[in-house]
A and B are shown apart, each in its own frame.
Chain A
Amino acid sequence: MNRHHRLAIDRIACDGRGLCAELLPELIDLDEWGYPVIHGQAVPADLLGHARRAVAACPVLALRLERAAGDRPPPAA
Protein backbone atom coordinates (compact mmCIF):
# COMPACT_ATOMS: atom_id res chain seq x y z
CA MET A 1 0.00 0.00 0.00
CA ASN A 2 1.18 3.48 -0.83
CA ARG A 3 1.40 5.19 2.56
CA HIS A 4 2.60 8.73 2.87
CA HIS A 5 2.57 11.56 5.36
CA ARG A 6 0.53 14.69 4.98
CA LEU A 7 0.28 17.95 6.92
CA ALA A 8 -3.13 18.95 8.17
CA ILE A 9 -4.23 22.04 10.07
CA ASP A 10 -7.15 22.52 12.40
CA ARG A 11 -8.13 25.83 10.81
CA ILE A 12 -10.39 26.80 13.70
CA ALA A 13 -7.66 26.33 16.31
CA CYS A 14 -4.88 27.94 14.23
CA ASP A 15 -4.20 31.51 15.36
CA GLY A 16 -1.99 32.41 12.43
CA ARG A 17 1.17 33.47 14.17
CA GLY A 18 3.14 31.45 11.67
CA LEU A 19 5.66 29.56 13.77
CA CYS A 20 5.18 26.51 11.57
CA ALA A 21 6.24 28.41 8.44
CA GLU A 22 9.43 29.52 10.15
CA LEU A 23 10.34 25.94 10.99
CA LEU A 24 9.21 24.38 7.73
CA PRO A 25 9.52 27.01 4.98
CA GLU A 26 9.97 24.25 2.39
CA LEU A 27 6.33 23.21 2.80
CA ILE A 28 4.55 26.05 4.55
CA ASP A 29 4.09 29.65 3.40
CA LEU A 30 2.06 32.37 5.06
CA ASP A 31 -0.67 34.45 3.46
CA GLU A 32 -0.70 38.22 3.86
CA TRP A 33 -2.38 37.88 7.27
CA GLY A 34 0.03 35.27 8.61
CA TYR A 35 -2.10 32.16 8.12
CA PRO A 36 -0.38 29.06 6.74
CA VAL A 37 -0.55 27.88 3.14
CA ILE A 38 0.61 24.29 2.70
CA HIS A 39 2.43 23.36 -0.50
CA GLY A 40 1.97 19.94 -1.98
CA GLN A 41 0.08 17.01 -0.57
CA ALA A 42 2.76 14.62 0.63
CA VAL A 43 5.62 15.34 3.01
CA PRO A 44 8.85 14.05 1.43
CA ALA A 45 10.80 11.59 3.59
CA ASP A 46 13.79 13.93 3.99
CA LEU A 47 11.55 16.61 5.50
CA LEU A 48 9.74 14.36 7.98
CA GLY A 49 12.03 15.39 10.84
CA HIS A 50 11.44 19.08 10.19
CA ALA A 51 7.73 18.47 9.85
CA ARG A 52 7.59 16.72 13.23
CA ARG A 53 9.42 19.62 14.81
CA ALA A 54 6.98 22.11 13.33
CA VAL A 55 4.05 20.05 14.62
CA ALA A 56 5.56 19.99 18.09
CA ALA A 57 6.18 23.75 18.01
CA CYS A 58 2.61 24.81 17.13
CA PRO A 59 1.45 26.61 20.29
CA VAL A 60 -2.21 25.64 19.89
CA LEU A 61 -1.71 22.06 18.62
CA ALA A 62 -3.36 23.00 15.33
CA LEU A 63 -0.77 21.38 13.08
CA ARG A 64 -0.89 17.60 12.59
CA LEU A 65 1.06 15.05 10.63
CA GLU A 66 -1.34 12.48 9.19
CA ARG A 67 -0.65 9.14 7.64
CA ALA A 68 -2.62 9.03 4.45
CA ALA A 69 -3.38 5.71 2.80
CA GLY A 70 -6.02 3.80 0.90
CA ASP A 71 -9.67 4.73 1.04
CA ARG A 72 -10.96 8.19 1.69
CA PRO A 73 -13.93 8.59 4.02
CA PRO A 74 -17.16 10.10 2.69
CA PRO A 75 -17.01 13.90 2.54
CA ALA A 76 -19.52 16.22 4.15
CA ALA A 77 -23.01 16.24 2.64
Chain B
Amino acid sequence: MTQTTELRQSTEHRLLRGWFETGGPADLTEHLRRYGPAPLPSERGARQARAALLQTVEQAGLTGRGGAAFPTGRKLRAVAEGRGRPVVVVNGMESEPASRKDEALLDLAPHLVLDGAALAAAAVDATVVHLCLPRGSARATQVDRLTRAVAERWRAGLDRIPVEVHRLPHHYVSSEETSLVQWLNGGPARPLATPPRPFEKGVDRRPTLVDNVETLAHLALIARYGPSWFRSTGTADAPGTTLLTVSGAVHAPGVHELPLGTPLGAVLAAAGGTSRPLGAVLVGGFFGSWLSAEQAPAVPFARPELAALGAGPGAGVLVALPADSCGLAETARVLGFLAAQSARQCGPCRFGLPAVAADFHQLAWGRPDAELPARLPHRVELLAGRGACRHPDGASRLAATALAVFAADVRRHLETGPCPGAALPPVLPVPGGPAADEVGWR
Protein backbone atom coordinates (compact mmCIF):
# COMPACT_ATOMS: atom_id res chain seq x y z
CA MET B 1 0.00 0.00 0.00
CA THR B 2 1.36 3.38 -0.87
CA GLN B 3 0.26 6.93 -0.58
CA THR B 4 1.78 9.97 -2.15
CA THR B 5 0.70 13.57 -1.93
CA GLU B 6 0.33 13.95 -5.70
CA LEU B 7 -1.97 10.97 -5.77
CA ARG B 8 -4.14 12.36 -3.05
CA GLN B 9 -4.70 15.53 -5.00
CA SER B 10 -4.89 14.28 -8.54
CA THR B 11 -7.35 11.40 -8.39
CA GLU B 12 -10.70 10.65 -6.91
CA HIS B 13 -10.70 7.82 -4.42
CA ARG B 14 -13.76 5.73 -4.04
CA LEU B 15 -12.94 2.30 -2.70
CA LEU B 16 -9.81 3.61 -0.98
CA ARG B 17 -11.46 6.79 0.32
CA GLY B 18 -11.40 5.58 3.92
CA TRP B 19 -7.72 4.70 3.68
CA PHE B 20 -6.86 8.15 2.38
CA GLU B 21 -8.90 9.77 5.16
CA THR B 22 -7.53 7.79 8.08
CA GLY B 23 -4.56 5.77 6.86
CA GLY B 24 -6.03 2.61 8.36
CA PRO B 25 -8.67 -0.06 7.88
CA ALA B 26 -12.31 0.95 8.41
CA ASP B 27 -14.14 -0.99 11.11
CA LEU B 28 -17.92 -1.17 11.19
CA THR B 29 -18.37 1.99 13.29
CA GLU B 30 -16.19 4.03 10.98
CA HIS B 31 -17.81 2.50 7.90
CA LEU B 32 -21.30 3.40 9.14
CA ARG B 33 -20.20 6.92 10.02
CA ARG B 34 -18.79 7.41 6.53
CA TYR B 35 -21.43 5.71 4.42
CA GLY B 36 -24.40 4.78 6.63
CA PRO B 37 -26.01 1.36 6.27
CA ALA B 38 -26.35 -0.24 2.81
CA PRO B 39 -29.50 0.97 1.05
CA LEU B 40 -31.10 -2.47 0.83
CA PRO B 41 -34.24 -2.64 -1.28
CA SER B 42 -37.31 -2.27 0.96
CA GLU B 43 -39.03 -5.49 1.89
CA ARG B 44 -42.38 -3.95 1.14
CA GLY B 45 -42.93 -3.84 -2.63
CA ALA B 46 -39.89 -6.06 -2.77
CA ARG B 47 -40.14 -7.03 -6.41
CA GLN B 48 -40.12 -3.45 -7.63
CA ALA B 49 -37.37 -2.43 -5.25
CA ARG B 50 -35.21 -5.31 -6.50
CA ALA B 51 -35.89 -4.38 -10.10
CA ALA B 52 -34.89 -0.78 -9.41
CA LEU B 53 -31.57 -1.85 -7.89
CA LEU B 54 -30.85 -4.13 -10.85
CA GLN B 55 -31.56 -1.29 -13.22
CA THR B 56 -29.27 1.05 -11.30
CA VAL B 57 -26.37 -1.38 -11.65
CA GLU B 58 -27.09 -1.85 -15.36
CA GLN B 59 -27.20 1.89 -15.97
CA ALA B 60 -23.95 2.39 -14.12
CA GLY B 61 -22.19 0.13 -16.62
CA LEU B 62 -20.23 -1.66 -13.90
CA THR B 63 -18.09 -4.52 -15.22
CA GLY B 64 -16.50 -7.38 -13.30
CA ARG B 65 -13.12 -6.56 -11.76
CA GLY B 66 -12.02 -10.19 -11.37
CA GLY B 67 -10.69 -10.66 -14.90
CA ALA B 68 -13.41 -11.11 -17.48
CA ALA B 69 -14.80 -7.54 -17.28
CA PHE B 70 -18.31 -8.83 -18.03
CA PRO B 71 -21.24 -6.42 -17.41
CA THR B 72 -22.31 -7.01 -13.80
CA GLY B 73 -25.88 -5.87 -14.37
CA ARG B 74 -26.41 -8.44 -17.09
CA LYS B 75 -25.07 -11.20 -14.88
CA LEU B 76 -27.33 -10.13 -12.01
CA ARG B 77 -30.32 -10.19 -14.33
CA ALA B 78 -29.49 -13.62 -15.73
CA VAL B 79 -29.27 -15.01 -12.19
CA ALA B 80 -32.43 -13.24 -11.02
CA GLU B 81 -34.35 -14.64 -13.96
CA GLY B 82 -33.03 -18.20 -13.55
CA ARG B 83 -34.99 -21.16 -12.25
CA GLY B 84 -35.00 -21.40 -8.45
CA ARG B 85 -33.85 -19.18 -5.58
CA PRO B 86 -30.36 -17.86 -6.32
CA VAL B 87 -27.13 -18.19 -4.36
CA VAL B 88 -24.45 -15.49 -4.22
CA VAL B 89 -20.76 -16.40 -4.16
CA VAL B 90 -18.25 -13.70 -3.25
CA ASN B 91 -14.88 -14.41 -4.82
CA GLY B 92 -12.08 -13.19 -2.57
CA MET B 93 -9.57 -15.87 -3.57
CA GLU B 94 -7.18 -13.62 -5.50
CA SER B 95 -5.00 -16.44 -6.76
CA GLU B 96 -3.09 -14.19 -9.16
CA PRO B 97 0.37 -13.98 -7.55
CA ALA B 98 1.07 -10.49 -8.91
CA SER B 99 -2.21 -9.10 -7.56
CA ARG B 100 -2.76 -7.71 -4.07
CA LYS B 101 -5.79 -5.52 -4.65
CA ASP B 102 -8.50 -7.84 -3.32
CA GLU B 103 -6.48 -8.55 -0.20
CA ALA B 104 -5.91 -4.82 0.30
CA LEU B 105 -9.57 -4.01 -0.24
CA LEU B 106 -10.72 -6.72 2.17
CA ASP B 107 -8.30 -5.32 4.74
CA LEU B 108 -9.13 -1.65 4.30
CA ALA B 109 -12.82 -1.57 3.43
CA PRO B 110 -14.30 -4.98 4.29
CA HIS B 111 -17.74 -3.53 4.92
CA LEU B 112 -17.98 -2.04 1.44
CA VAL B 113 -17.49 -5.56 0.09
CA LEU B 114 -20.00 -7.04 2.52
CA ASP B 115 -22.49 -4.25 1.74
CA GLY B 116 -22.09 -5.06 -1.94
CA ALA B 117 -22.68 -8.75 -1.26
CA ALA B 118 -25.82 -7.95 0.75
CA LEU B 119 -27.10 -5.66 -2.01
CA ALA B 120 -26.38 -8.13 -4.81
CA ALA B 121 -28.05 -10.90 -2.80
CA ALA B 122 -31.09 -8.70 -2.25
CA ALA B 123 -31.20 -7.69 -5.92
CA VAL B 124 -31.37 -11.31 -7.12
CA ASP B 125 -33.46 -12.45 -4.11
CA ALA B 126 -30.86 -14.95 -2.92
CA THR B 127 -31.16 -17.03 0.24
CA VAL B 128 -27.49 -17.26 1.13
CA VAL B 129 -24.12 -15.61 0.49
CA HIS B 130 -20.93 -17.69 0.38
CA LEU B 131 -17.74 -15.72 0.99
CA CYS B 132 -14.84 -17.70 -0.53
CA LEU B 133 -11.38 -16.97 0.84
CA PRO B 134 -8.03 -18.76 0.54
CA ARG B 135 -6.89 -21.29 3.09
CA GLY B 136 -3.37 -21.11 4.49
CA SER B 137 -1.27 -18.93 6.68
CA ALA B 138 -0.62 -16.00 4.35
CA ARG B 139 -4.09 -14.49 4.76
CA ALA B 140 -5.28 -16.37 7.87
CA THR B 141 -5.62 -13.27 10.06
CA GLN B 142 -7.62 -11.55 7.35
CA VAL B 143 -9.99 -14.49 7.12
CA ASP B 144 -10.46 -14.45 10.91
CA ARG B 145 -11.13 -10.72 10.86
CA LEU B 146 -13.69 -11.10 8.09
CA THR B 147 -15.40 -13.92 9.95
CA ARG B 148 -15.77 -11.61 12.95
CA ALA B 149 -16.96 -8.74 10.73
CA VAL B 150 -19.67 -10.95 9.25
CA ALA B 151 -20.86 -11.95 12.73
CA GLU B 152 -20.79 -8.35 13.93
CA ARG B 153 -23.00 -7.21 11.05
CA TRP B 154 -25.45 -10.03 11.69
CA ARG B 155 -25.73 -9.11 15.38
CA ALA B 156 -26.26 -5.48 14.41
CA GLY B 157 -29.08 -6.51 12.09
CA LEU B 158 -27.36 -5.01 9.03
CA ASP B 159 -27.63 -8.11 6.83
CA ARG B 160 -30.87 -9.88 6.03
CA ILE B 161 -29.33 -12.77 4.13
CA PRO B 162 -26.85 -14.99 6.01
CA VAL B 163 -23.19 -14.95 4.95
CA GLU B 164 -21.09 -18.11 5.27
CA VAL B 165 -17.31 -17.79 5.25
CA HIS B 166 -15.33 -20.58 3.54
CA ARG B 167 -11.63 -21.35 3.29
CA LEU B 168 -10.67 -23.01 0.00
CA PRO B 169 -7.39 -24.52 -1.20
CA HIS B 170 -5.40 -21.70 -2.78
CA HIS B 171 -4.40 -22.80 -6.27
CA TYR B 172 -4.23 -20.67 -9.38
CA VAL B 173 -7.34 -22.23 -10.97
CA SER B 174 -9.28 -22.48 -7.69
CA SER B 175 -10.59 -18.95 -8.15
CA GLU B 176 -12.31 -19.86 -11.42
CA GLU B 177 -16.01 -19.51 -10.80
CA THR B 178 -16.77 -23.13 -11.63
CA SER B 179 -14.06 -24.21 -9.16
CA LEU B 180 -15.79 -22.30 -6.37
CA VAL B 181 -19.12 -23.83 -7.32
CA GLN B 182 -17.74 -27.36 -7.45
CA TRP B 183 -16.05 -26.92 -4.04
CA LEU B 184 -19.18 -25.46 -2.43
CA ASN B 185 -21.05 -28.49 -3.75
CA GLY B 186 -18.66 -30.77 -1.85
CA GLY B 187 -16.18 -31.48 -4.64
CA PRO B 188 -12.62 -30.43 -5.49
CA ALA B 189 -11.84 -26.73 -6.10
CA ARG B 190 -11.14 -27.45 -9.76
CA PRO B 191 -12.82 -26.04 -12.86
CA LEU B 192 -15.86 -27.85 -14.23
CA ALA B 193 -16.83 -28.32 -17.84
CA THR B 194 -19.52 -25.85 -18.92
CA PRO B 195 -22.41 -25.78 -19.72
CA PRO B 196 -24.22 -25.48 -17.43
CA ARG B 197 -22.73 -22.17 -16.35
CA PRO B 198 -23.06 -21.16 -12.70
CA PHE B 199 -25.66 -18.50 -13.51
CA GLU B 200 -27.90 -21.28 -14.81
CA LYS B 201 -27.09 -24.08 -12.41
CA GLY B 202 -24.43 -23.62 -9.76
CA VAL B 203 -24.39 -24.18 -6.01
CA ASP B 204 -27.09 -26.72 -5.08
CA ARG B 205 -28.07 -26.61 -8.76
CA ARG B 206 -29.48 -23.15 -8.20
CA PRO B 207 -28.77 -20.01 -10.24
CA THR B 208 -25.49 -18.71 -8.81
CA LEU B 209 -24.00 -15.24 -8.97
CA VAL B 210 -20.22 -15.29 -8.64
CA ASP B 211 -18.69 -11.84 -8.24
CA ASN B 212 -15.25 -10.57 -7.34
CA VAL B 213 -14.93 -8.59 -4.09
CA GLU B 214 -13.94 -5.36 -5.83
CA THR B 215 -16.92 -5.57 -8.15
CA LEU B 216 -19.22 -5.83 -5.14
CA ALA B 217 -17.57 -2.88 -3.38
CA HIS B 218 -18.25 -0.73 -6.44
CA LEU B 219 -21.83 -2.00 -6.42
CA ALA B 220 -22.18 -0.87 -2.79
CA LEU B 221 -21.25 2.68 -3.82
CA ILE B 222 -23.42 2.65 -6.94
CA ALA B 223 -26.45 1.71 -4.81
CA ARG B 224 -25.73 4.75 -2.63
CA TYR B 225 -24.70 7.41 -5.14
CA GLY B 226 -26.30 6.28 -8.40
CA PRO B 227 -25.22 5.56 -11.98
CA SER B 228 -24.33 9.12 -13.01
CA TRP B 229 -22.00 9.48 -10.07
CA PHE B 230 -20.36 6.18 -11.02
CA ARG B 231 -20.00 7.28 -14.64
CA SER B 232 -18.48 10.64 -13.69
CA THR B 233 -15.01 9.11 -13.96
CA GLY B 234 -13.48 6.53 -16.28
CA THR B 235 -14.57 6.34 -19.92
CA ALA B 236 -18.02 5.99 -21.49
CA ASP B 237 -17.36 2.33 -22.32
CA ALA B 238 -15.43 1.58 -19.14
CA PRO B 239 -16.82 3.80 -16.39
CA GLY B 240 -15.65 4.11 -12.80
CA THR B 241 -12.37 3.56 -11.04
CA THR B 242 -10.41 0.35 -10.69
CA LEU B 243 -7.85 -1.04 -8.29
CA LEU B 244 -4.47 -1.79 -9.81
CA THR B 245 -1.52 -3.65 -8.35
CA VAL B 246 1.63 -2.10 -9.76
CA SER B 247 5.00 -3.75 -9.22
CA GLY B 248 8.43 -4.08 -10.78
CA ALA B 249 10.64 -1.10 -11.59
CA VAL B 250 8.52 1.69 -10.05
CA HIS B 251 9.30 3.87 -7.03
CA ALA B 252 6.00 3.23 -5.22
CA PRO B 253 4.83 -0.30 -5.93
CA GLY B 254 1.50 -1.25 -4.40
CA VAL B 255 -2.24 -0.97 -4.87
CA HIS B 256 -3.55 2.16 -6.54
CA GLU B 257 -7.06 3.29 -7.43
CA LEU B 258 -7.36 5.03 -10.77
CA PRO B 259 -10.07 5.79 -13.31
CA LEU B 260 -10.53 3.12 -15.97
CA GLY B 261 -9.00 4.38 -19.18
CA THR B 262 -5.94 5.89 -17.47
CA PRO B 263 -2.99 5.47 -19.88
CA LEU B 264 -0.46 2.94 -18.62
CA GLY B 265 2.20 5.67 -18.53
CA ALA B 266 0.04 7.63 -16.08
CA VAL B 267 -0.55 4.46 -14.03
CA LEU B 268 3.22 4.04 -13.71
CA ALA B 269 3.51 7.71 -12.78
CA ALA B 270 0.88 7.25 -10.07
CA ALA B 271 3.04 4.42 -8.74
CA GLY B 272 5.88 6.88 -8.23
CA GLY B 273 7.25 6.69 -11.77
CA THR B 274 9.71 4.21 -13.20
CA SER B 275 12.86 3.60 -11.20
CA ARG B 276 14.90 2.26 -14.14
CA PRO B 277 14.64 2.23 -17.93
CA LEU B 278 11.92 -0.22 -18.96
CA GLY B 279 12.09 -3.05 -21.44
CA ALA B 280 8.42 -4.02 -21.36
CA VAL B 281 5.23 -3.90 -19.32
CA LEU B 282 3.11 -6.87 -18.36
CA VAL B 283 -0.55 -5.96 -18.19
CA GLY B 284 -3.24 -8.23 -16.75
CA GLY B 285 -1.13 -10.62 -14.67
CA PHE B 286 0.13 -14.14 -15.30
CA PHE B 287 -2.66 -14.54 -17.86
CA GLY B 288 -1.76 -11.16 -19.26
CA SER B 289 0.06 -9.68 -22.21
CA TRP B 290 3.48 -8.18 -22.64
CA LEU B 291 3.57 -4.74 -24.23
CA SER B 292 6.80 -3.10 -25.36
CA ALA B 293 8.11 -0.16 -23.35
CA GLU B 294 7.60 2.07 -26.40
CA GLN B 295 4.00 1.05 -26.93
CA ALA B 296 2.74 0.71 -23.37
CA PRO B 297 2.63 4.29 -21.99
CA ALA B 298 -0.04 5.52 -24.40
CA VAL B 299 -2.34 2.50 -24.04
CA PRO B 300 -5.41 3.21 -21.88
CA PHE B 301 -6.16 0.72 -19.10
CA ALA B 302 -9.66 -0.25 -20.21
CA ARG B 303 -11.05 -3.39 -21.71
CA PRO B 304 -12.02 -2.07 -25.16
CA GLU B 305 -8.65 -0.42 -25.83
CA LEU B 306 -6.67 -3.35 -24.43
CA ALA B 307 -8.78 -5.83 -26.39
CA ALA B 308 -7.85 -4.04 -29.61
CA LEU B 309 -4.25 -5.06 -28.86
CA GLY B 310 -5.20 -8.62 -27.96
CA ALA B 311 -4.69 -7.79 -24.27
CA GLY B 312 -7.08 -7.49 -21.33
CA PRO B 313 -7.32 -5.81 -17.92
CA GLY B 314 -7.18 -9.14 -16.07
CA ALA B 315 -7.29 -8.58 -12.36
CA GLY B 316 -5.71 -5.14 -12.66
CA VAL B 317 -2.05 -6.10 -12.62
CA LEU B 318 0.76 -4.02 -14.09
CA VAL B 319 4.40 -5.09 -13.88
CA ALA B 320 7.19 -2.82 -15.12
CA LEU B 321 10.04 -4.95 -16.42
CA PRO B 322 13.44 -3.22 -16.39
CA ALA B 323 15.36 -3.24 -19.66
CA ASP B 324 18.22 -5.35 -18.31
CA SER B 325 15.89 -8.18 -17.21
CA CYS B 326 15.17 -11.07 -19.56
CA GLY B 327 11.53 -11.22 -20.63
CA LEU B 328 12.00 -14.79 -21.85
CA ALA B 329 13.27 -15.95 -18.46
CA GLU B 330 10.42 -14.12 -16.70
CA THR B 331 7.89 -15.75 -19.01
CA ALA B 332 9.51 -19.18 -18.67
CA ARG B 333 9.17 -19.05 -14.88
CA VAL B 334 5.51 -18.04 -15.06
CA LEU B 335 4.71 -20.75 -17.60
CA GLY B 336 6.38 -23.35 -15.39
CA PHE B 337 4.19 -22.17 -12.52
CA LEU B 338 1.03 -22.22 -14.65
CA ALA B 339 1.83 -25.74 -15.82
CA ALA B 340 2.27 -26.92 -12.22
CA GLN B 341 -0.92 -25.13 -11.16
CA SER B 342 -3.21 -26.59 -13.80
CA ALA B 343 -5.80 -29.11 -12.77
CA ARG B 344 -4.36 -31.55 -15.37
CA GLN B 345 -7.85 -32.48 -16.48
CA CYS B 346 -7.71 -31.47 -20.14
CA GLY B 347 -5.29 -32.30 -22.96
CA PRO B 348 -3.79 -28.80 -23.37
CA CYS B 349 -3.01 -28.61 -19.65
CA ARG B 350 -1.68 -32.13 -19.34
CA PHE B 351 0.62 -32.04 -22.35
CA GLY B 352 0.57 -28.76 -24.28
CA LEU B 353 1.25 -26.38 -21.40
CA PRO B 354 4.13 -28.37 -19.85
CA ALA B 355 5.63 -28.72 -23.34
CA VAL B 356 5.42 -24.96 -23.96
CA ALA B 357 6.89 -24.30 -20.52
CA ALA B 358 9.77 -26.69 -21.25
CA ASP B 359 10.40 -25.03 -24.63
CA PHE B 360 10.51 -21.60 -22.97
CA HIS B 361 12.85 -22.94 -20.31
CA GLN B 362 15.16 -24.20 -23.04
CA LEU B 363 14.92 -20.90 -24.90
CA ALA B 364 15.65 -18.83 -21.79
CA TRP B 365 18.44 -20.82 -20.15
CA GLY B 366 19.41 -23.76 -22.34
CA ARG B 367 20.56 -24.65 -25.80
CA PRO B 368 17.44 -24.67 -27.97
CA ASP B 369 17.23 -27.63 -30.35
CA ALA B 370 16.91 -27.02 -34.07
CA GLU B 371 13.16 -27.61 -34.21
CA LEU B 372 12.24 -25.20 -31.43
CA PRO B 373 11.78 -22.04 -33.53
CA ALA B 374 9.16 -23.76 -35.69
CA ARG B 375 7.60 -25.91 -32.96
CA LEU B 376 7.08 -23.39 -30.18
CA PRO B 377 4.77 -20.85 -31.87
CA HIS B 378 2.60 -23.70 -33.13
CA ARG B 379 2.33 -25.25 -29.67
CA VAL B 380 1.52 -21.86 -28.18
CA GLU B 381 -1.26 -21.29 -30.70
CA LEU B 382 -2.78 -24.70 -30.05
CA LEU B 383 -3.18 -24.01 -26.32
CA ALA B 384 -5.94 -21.49 -26.86
CA GLY B 385 -9.61 -22.38 -26.83
CA ARG B 386 -9.06 -26.04 -26.04
CA GLY B 387 -9.51 -26.38 -22.29
CA ALA B 388 -12.59 -26.58 -20.10
CA CYS B 389 -11.53 -23.30 -18.53
CA ARG B 390 -9.43 -20.38 -19.74
CA HIS B 391 -6.23 -21.50 -18.02
CA PRO B 392 -4.48 -22.63 -21.22
CA ASP B 393 -5.81 -19.55 -23.07
CA GLY B 394 -4.18 -17.27 -20.53
CA ALA B 395 -0.90 -19.14 -20.75
CA SER B 396 -1.07 -19.01 -24.54
CA ARG B 397 -1.55 -15.25 -24.53
CA LEU B 398 1.36 -14.69 -22.20
CA ALA B 399 3.63 -16.92 -24.29
CA ALA B 400 2.53 -15.47 -27.64
CA THR B 401 3.04 -11.86 -26.55
CA ALA B 402 6.44 -12.77 -25.09
CA LEU B 403 7.54 -14.23 -28.44
CA ALA B 404 6.37 -11.06 -30.20
CA VAL B 405 7.60 -8.37 -27.79
CA PHE B 406 10.91 -10.09 -27.05
CA ALA B 407 11.47 -11.21 -30.66
CA ALA B 408 14.96 -9.69 -30.73
CA ASP B 409 15.86 -11.55 -27.52
CA VAL B 410 14.51 -14.79 -29.00
CA ARG B 411 16.86 -14.37 -31.94
CA ARG B 412 19.77 -13.58 -29.65
CA HIS B 413 19.11 -16.56 -27.39
CA LEU B 414 18.84 -18.85 -30.41
CA GLU B 415 22.09 -17.58 -31.87
CA THR B 416 24.31 -17.04 -28.86
CA GLY B 417 22.57 -18.64 -25.86
CA PRO B 418 21.21 -17.03 -22.68
CA CYS B 419 21.69 -13.27 -22.22
CA PRO B 420 23.09 -11.91 -18.93
CA GLY B 421 19.56 -10.83 -17.92
CA ALA B 422 18.45 -14.45 -17.74
CA ALA B 423 20.60 -14.91 -14.64
CA LEU B 424 19.14 -11.89 -12.76
CA PRO B 425 16.70 -12.38 -9.88
CA PRO B 426 13.03 -12.61 -10.98
CA VAL B 427 10.89 -9.48 -11.26
CA LEU B 428 7.60 -11.38 -11.47
CA PRO B 429 6.70 -12.94 -8.12
CA VAL B 430 6.42 -16.61 -9.06
CA PRO B 431 5.53 -18.63 -5.95
CA GLY B 432 7.54 -21.74 -5.24
CA GLY B 433 6.07 -24.70 -3.45
CA PRO B 434 4.61 -28.00 -4.53
CA ALA B 435 2.36 -28.56 -7.55
CA ALA B 436 -1.37 -28.13 -6.99
CA ASP B 437 -1.98 -31.84 -7.47
CA GLU B 438 0.33 -32.66 -4.56
CA VAL B 439 -1.38 -30.24 -2.17
CA GLY B 440 -4.84 -31.47 -3.05
CA TRP B 441 -8.02 -29.80 -4.25
CA ARG B 442 -10.41 -30.28 -1.35
Contact = CB atoms under 8 A, between A and B. Distances in A.
Contact of A73 (B178, B200, B210, B351): B200
Contacts of A16: 347
Contacts of B16: none
Interface string B206-228: 00001110000000000000000
B178 A35 contact: no
B70 to A, nearest CB: 6
Contacts of B64: 77
A37 B67 CA distance: 26
Given A31-B382, A35-B351, A74-B78, A10 B388 contact: yes
Nearest to B200: A73
Contact of A11 (B177, B178, B212, B387): B387
B32 to A, nearest CB: 29
Interface in A19-77: 31-35, 37, 73-77
A1 interface: no
Interface of B, helix, strand, loop or mixed by DSSP: loop
Interface in B357-383: 379, 382
A37 B346 CA distance: 13
Given A31-B352, A35-B348, A37-B382, A76 B390 contact: yes
Contacts of B389: 76
Interface residues of B, number: 37
Nearest to A14: B347
Contacts of A35: 346-348, 351-352, 386
A75 B345 contact: no
B179 to A, nearest CB: 10
Contacts of A75: 68, 70, 197
Interface-central residue, B192, B193, B198, B352, by most chain A CB under 10 Å: B193
A34 B348 CA distance: 10
A31 to B, nearest CB: 5
B204 to A, nearest CB: 19
Interface of B: 64, 66-68, 70, 74-75, 78, 91, 176-178, 192-195, 197-200, 210-212, 345-348, 350-352, 379, 382, 386-390
Interface of A: 10-14, 16, 31-35, 37, 73-77
